[in-house]
Amino acid sequence: MSVARVGAAVLLSWCSLLAGPTASLASPGAAPHQGEAASDPVIEAGKRMYREGVLPSGELMQGIVQGDIPLTGEQVICGRCHRRSGLGATEGQEVAPPITGDILFAPLRVPTSKPPLAPELRPAYTDETLRRAIRDGIGANGQPINPLMPRYPLRDEQLDVLIAYLKTMSADPHPGVDERDMHLATIVTEGVAPLTREAFLNVFEAFLKQKNTETRHETHRAEHAPWHKAWAMKPYRKWVLHVWELSGPPDAWAEQLRAKYEEQPVFAVVSGLAAGPWRPIHDFCETHQVPCLFPSTDLPVIDEDDFYSVYLTRGMALEADLVAKHLADGGLLSAPLVQIYRSDEPKGLAAAAQLRHQIEQDGGQITDLMLADGSAPGEDLWRSAVEQAAGGTVVLWLGSRDSAGLLETGAGDQLVRIYLSTSLHRAEHAPIPAESRERVYLVHPAELPARIPRLLIRSTGWLKSQGIYVPEAQREQADAFFALKMAGEGIKAMRGFFVREYLIERIEHMADNATYSSIYPMIRLAPGQRFVSKGGYILRPSLQRPGELEGVTPWIVP
């Protein structure tokens, strides 16, 4: 069985029943949460059974569902249904309940705030009854478990390994949360333009001020919540923001992040801006198991095995894939193809590497021309590019100043297409010269420019009401607002189970129904996916309305 979506109302009822009173809360100096210190080989083997469906022997686990249907591989992975957090999931009317050790090995009761204790709905599991449940489908109360739960023909010693791992899983709050506050961070690196930095951080200051002011009475309510409303009131926490400013080159960021985290652990990193690759921040968050939610970056890390970092798009890699697909759709993969980029521009380097990979994978050939650090493109470069790409395409992973030599002189007359990146060229500030409009295409991994004002009406209205709207930092402010909204909704939906993995799982469930999507027209996030916007448009300069861009393709997901 593979459960893909978490239903908030159903899961809430399960968690409220199973968990009972909120457990003791982690202090800023708390020990690493579950799985962070992975040294016990038995626990590691149990984790692999739970997350990968692989036995300690290396064989794949097998199971039986609905009495006689054999399953293997991903279908029997415990974490597919009960999720990485162990806090469960639902699909339609079917429920995979929480199975963290502190829930399984405690009696199940209806929560009450005053004695006497409510009657047990089921007794606490023991190792013996849990083995029976996993192997034979009989619960701690002696009743059959839902037939959609696989029965696993495992030996006692194999079950003991899995159970040892389940006992390490806990619904206790993770570091960064105490009884009153939730600590969050956002990250800004050296090199971000001062205007952009200020506009970005103003969104956080205004958002947290409003959020904490509007809910300032919740602390009192939480202390006196009746039992039937405790699930809504007791999880309230005041948000405390930490701005982690990083200086120096990217290879110096890891140590700075470690020091800041040791000084005050945070529950999650929300958004962020980096003048350069996001890789050092990504690696820090994965190592310390800290959710990193929707940083505003064109250089995300693309790794299917990583869990804690969730991005808006694949950035420059997505743009390269859009170029490759548009070339393929136009039958131009076999035509000459040249790409030009700077050696000192990380965005261009990333895009060029991905386009080269994709073209070669599709059986085509591509020629690279690279500008050395600080050098300006001259006539020799353009002449060489046009000669090598005659009858084909040149892709410019360059800014508007560097691109001008090819676009303004009309040197591209021999070319079929010239591609630009809207992330680098910023065509809204540097209109395409008339000489080149008929052959220029722009890769655009966001909503069509003419539709952006309507798409952002919610954030723009709020920003203006706060007196902090900066048109020059439109994307960064819109992305920050999106990240804060998604974090807030996800934290609210956690209902007091302050487990970092659970926050990401809740956001996975909610993204499809988000009422605000920043500058992206279509967002989706299924379990295991780490990019909410997966496509883009190909634009071209309008021949009728100089200075405007218009779409020539529908939304493309390469």
Over residues 151-162, the pLDDT tens digits come to 999 999 999 999
Helix, coil or strand: residue 63 = strand
Residue 444 has pLDDT above 50, yes or no: yes
- Dig out the tokens for 277 from the structure: 């690759």
Least-confidence region, from 312-316, 379-383, 473-477: 379-383
Residue 1 has pLDDT above 80, yes or no: no
Residue 479 has pLDDT above 70, yes or no: yes
How far CA 539 is from CA of 12, 332, 424, 523, in Å, comes to 45, 18, 14, 20
In angstroms, rounded to a whole number, what is the distance separating the alpha carbons of residues 101 and 170? 6
- Dig out the tokens for 494 from the structure: 């956690």
- Dig out the tokens for 247 from the structure: 């200086």
The reported pLDDT for the residue numbered 438 is 87
Residue corresponding to tokens 């597919």:
80
In angstroms, rounded to a whole number, what is the distance separating the alpha carbons of residues 303 and 524? 18
In angstroms, rounded to a whole number, what is the distance separating the alpha carbons of residues 63 and 151? 5
Please provide residue 521's backbone torsions phi and psi, each rounded to the nearest 5 degrees: -75, -20
Band the pLDDT of 225: cuts 50, 70, 90. low
Q: Are strands 181-189 and 238-246 parallel, antiparallel or unpaired?
A: parallel
Bridge partners, 181 (sequence order): 238
* Mean per-residue pLDDT over the chain, rounded: 88
How far CA 513 is from CA of 15, 262, 509, 517, in Å, comes to 23, 36, 8, 10
The three-state (H, E, C) secondary structure of 512-540, written as one string: HHCCCCCCCCCCCCCCCCCECCCCEEEEE
How far CA 321 is from CA of 90, 393, 515, in Å, comes to 34, 15, 28
Band the pLDDT of 73: cuts 50, 70, 90. confident
The reported pLDDT for the residue numbered 414 is 85
Q: Which domains does the chain have, with CATH numbers?
A: 8-168 (no CATH), 181-313+453-513 (3.40.50.2300), 316-444+537-551 (3.40.50.2300)
318 Cβ contact list (under 8 Å, min separation 6): 445, 531, 534, 535, 536, 558
Over residues 21-48, the pLDDT tens digits come to 333 333 333 334 554 445 799 999 999 9
